[in-house]
Structure 1
Amino acid sequence: MNRHTQALAVVVPAHDEEELLGACLESIATAVDEARSVVPRIGVWVVLDACTDASAAIASAAGMQVLTVIEQSVGSARAAGMRAALERFAAVSSRKLWTAHTDADSVVPKNWLTHQLDLAERGADVVVGTVRPDFRDLDAEQTAAWWATHTPGVANGHVHGANLGIRASALLAAGGFTDAAVHEDVWLVDEIRARGGHLVATDAAWVRTSGRPIGRAPGGYSRYLREDLVPLARQARAPLPLPRVDRHWESDPSEVA
């Protein structure tokens, strides 16, 4: 059993994700099964934010704990999930509660939780995981641009709510997720880093997320893929130097482009 982590909370915000939520929750269930030998106390909360589709039925059928909010804000949805998790694990020290975060349009790998827990055991307060778009959603130019600007196995340190792990004590000390409609994950990680939290960026358990052109959160990953990806690839005149890595690296994410 993990010596330091006594409980694990997984939080998944969702807004009208009936097409993708089932695959997301199935992948989380597999990752949870893998993690039970490490941390037997695990809870998964699906936070349905102003959903008008079949997301509630899908989450209930998957056996997950379901919360319903009407916030239209991913930050508020994540915060609601965290409040429920903290209440459930109130007897556990926040230092020994690990929280894992993804999005309802994403699919996590089998080692998603065990990898985060391993890094937490080594002292990480935040695990910044990488994401890859579902290339079935991208055209040929976007796909080529993505591979031209990303190197498999190399953690770039970009913060994504779709692949994020945070020690509960660090999350609470930083004030938790704000009620922002976008970038709530980036702001929280920035605050934890400013308070001296230990961040680890890794590509060893990357998450596949939707590459759809119009996302649920304005200004989020969909906007990046739609508006920034190809221009950034065109601007890259030469390959950037890469840090030496052994599947993951420990550093300040702001140090890597």
Structure 2
Amino acid sequence: MIGVVIPAHNEEKYIAACLLSILVAAKHPQLAGCQVSVVVVMDDCSDDTALLVEAHGVEAIAVSFQNVGKARAKGAEELLRAGAQWLAFTDADTVVPPDWLARQIEFMADAVCGTVEVDNWAEHGEQVRSQYLEHYQFIENHRHIHGANLGLSATAYRRAGGFQPLVAHEDVHLVADLERISARIVWTATNPVLTSARKDFKCRGGFGEFLANLGTVSGSAAL
């Protein structure tokens, strides 16, 4: 069984496209009919996210953490309890490719760290786009870490201690813990996801804020 976790905080604008892409990925022929369970962890949602999740026949868990680390961990706990042997994580404003899950499993690794591509740069302009593309590595053995494109075995997740209750960089800390236990991590650019460059980002310190800071002195230095 493969489990997919999506944290969401008022994501009615994006969640439908995200879920549709995951449901397509769940039916990839290379998975040979493997069961795929998807869980949306609705963290303090007050919009129509729940209605959209229900309309797509996907399980939803309502929490009030306002903490992405806790939300990812909650989803993981539910899926592990249900018997998931592989956990895949993405974000509600992200669209995954049809072979996303199949590629993760194919590597036969403890964990797979994938890359992200931006869907539209219109809100940021050419300067930010150029800054990002100049430094981002769309290559194998990159060292980018994104909660929007991360997969790992249930065994590795448990051994590493899972996601810490952090409001940002929970993915970075989990990968550091995976390295600490000498997990076999594949860093690949062959299964990129498409994520939003929106300015109304939900997670402080996350990818959206990173893009917003690009072009400034501090943002350029952070690269």
Q: Same fold (TM over 0.5)?
A: yes
What percentage of aligned pairs have identical amino acids?
35
CA distance in 2, matches of 1:63, 1:53: 18
Paired amino acid for 2:34: P
Per-residue displacement from partner, 1:30-57 (whole Å, max 9, x unpaired)? 1111167435121111110000000000
- C-alpha spacing 1:194/1:21, structure 2 compared with 1 (3 Å): same
How far, CA to CA, are the matches of 1:138 and 1:204 in structure 2?
26
In structure 2, which of residues 66, 75, 99 is the aligned counterpart of residue 111 of structure 1?
Answer: 99
Do residues 217 (structure 1) and 203 (structure 2) align? yes
Q: Does 2:163 match 1:177? A: yes
Match for 1:191 among 177, 194, 199?
A: 177
Contact 1:128/1:164 (<8 A) preserved? yes
Q: What amino acid is aligned across from residue 135 of structure 1 in structure 2?
A: N
Q: What CA deviation, in whole Å up to 9, does each residue of 1:175-222 have, x standing for no partner?
A: 111111111111011011111101110011101111112411111111
Aligned 8 A contact 1:214 1:223 in 2: no
Alignment of 1:123-162 (within 5 A): 124-136=109-121, 137-162=123-148
Counterparts of 1:202-213 in structure 2, within 5 Å, are 202-213=188-199
Aligned partner letter, 1:183: H
Distance in 2 separating the partners of 1:184 and 1:152: 22
* 2:88 aligned residue: 100
Indicate yes or no: 2:36 matched with 1:45: no
Q: Which has the larger radius of gyration?
A: 1
| Alpha-carbon offset, residue 148 of structure 1 | 2.1
Q: In structure 2, how many angstroms separate the alpha carbons of the residues matched to 1:80 and 1:234?
A: 34
Question: In structure 1, what is the equivalent of residue 69 of structure 2?
Answer: 75
Relative distance call for 1:56 and 1:102 in structure 2 (3 A) is same
The amino acid of 1:67's aligned partner reads I
Query: 1:169/1:53 Cα in 2 relative to 1: closer, same or farther (>3 Å)?
Result: same
Q: 1:155 to 1:229 in 2, by over 3 A?
A: farther
Question: Per the alignment, do residues 182 and 117 of structure 1 end up closer, same or farther by CA in structure 2, a change over 3 Å counting?
Answer: same
Three-state SS of the structure 1 residue aligned to 2:166 is coil
Query: For the structure 1 residues 231 and 203, does the alpha-carbon distance in structure 2 shift closer, same or farther, using more than 3 Å as the test?
Result: farther
TM-score (norm. length: structure 1):
0.80
- 1:233/1:16 Cα in 2 relative to 1: closer, same or farther (>3 Å)? closer
Question: Is the contact made by 2:132 and 2:214 (CA closer than 8 Å) also made in structure 1?
Answer: no
- Which region of structure 1 is more displaced relative to structure 2, 133-142 or 98-107? 133-142
For the residue of structure 1 that corresponds to 2:132, the secondary structure is helix
**Uncovered stretches (5+) of structure 2, i.e. residues with no partner:** none
CA RMSD of aligned residues (A): 2.0
- Cα distance in 1 for partners of 2:170, 2:193 equals 19
Question: Which residue identity is paired with 2:97?
Answer: P
Structure 1 outlier segments of 4+, above 6 Å: 232-235
Compute the displacement of 1:234 (Å).
Answer: 6.8
Establish whether residue 59 from structure 1 lines up as the match of residue 53 from structure 2: yes
Query: Would you say how many aligned residue pairs link Structure 1 and Structure 2?
Result: 221
Partner of 1:25: 19
Residues 223-234 of structure 1 mapped to structure 2, 5 A cutoff: 223-228=209-214, 231=217
Tell me how far 1:13 sits from its aligned partner: 0.5
Deviations 1:139-164 (A, max 9, x none): 12112222222354455221100000
TM-score, normalised relative to structure 2:
0.92
* Letter aligned with residue 45 of structure 1: V
Moved more, 67-76 or 155-164: 155-164
